[in-house]
Amino acid sequence: MSPYFQDYVTVAAFAALGVVLVLALLGIASIFRPAHPHPAKLLTYECGVDPVGRDWSQSQVRYYIFGLLFVIFDVEAVFIFPWAIILERLGVFGLVEMGIFILILLLGLIYAIRKGVLKWE
């Protein structure tokens, strides 16, 4: 066997060992764990308080939009930091590329503002 494939065999062996170990420990835990079913375990948990009302509630879509915008601008920060570290090596090309990147994100933010997505009513 070539050394190239031998490395893959080693990685596959460790992955298989990890899977076997996890399955073995889960099996041992299922054998030795206490099983005391109780009707209270099937209730919806609300911060230690008995649940009141129905078990289904509708969430506002605004929370998801704000979360998505947070993720977008968080990813932007993740891309800008390494760029700022090696800016001198990239030169003008790197500066123009990052300018285009920031411009695209700025256009997306302007679009969201114009659509009224960021208004909390």
Average pLDDT of the segment spanning 9-16: 94
Specify the pLDDT at position 27. 96
Q: What is the pLDDT of residues 36-73, one digit of tens each?
A: 778 777 766 656 666 566 666 677 777 888 888 888 88
Residue 26 has pLDDT above 90, yes or no: yes
DSSP string, 65-100: HHHHHHHHHHHHHHHHHHHHHTHHHHHHHHHHHHHH
Is the full-model pTM beyond 0.85? no
**Torsional sign, CA 52, 54, 56, 60:** negative
Q: Which residue has the higher pLDDT, 38 or 94?
A: 94
CATH of domain 3-115: 1.20.58
Q: Which residue has the higher pLDDT, 2 or 115?
A: 115
Residue with tokens 């929370």: 63
Instruction: Return d(Cα 84, Cα 101) in angstroms, integer.
Output: 13
Specify the pLDDT at position 82. 87
Average pLDDT of the segment spanning 12-21: 97
Average pLDDT of the segment spanning 88-111: 90
The DSSP code for 40 is G
Cβ–Cβ < 8 Å for 2, 10: no
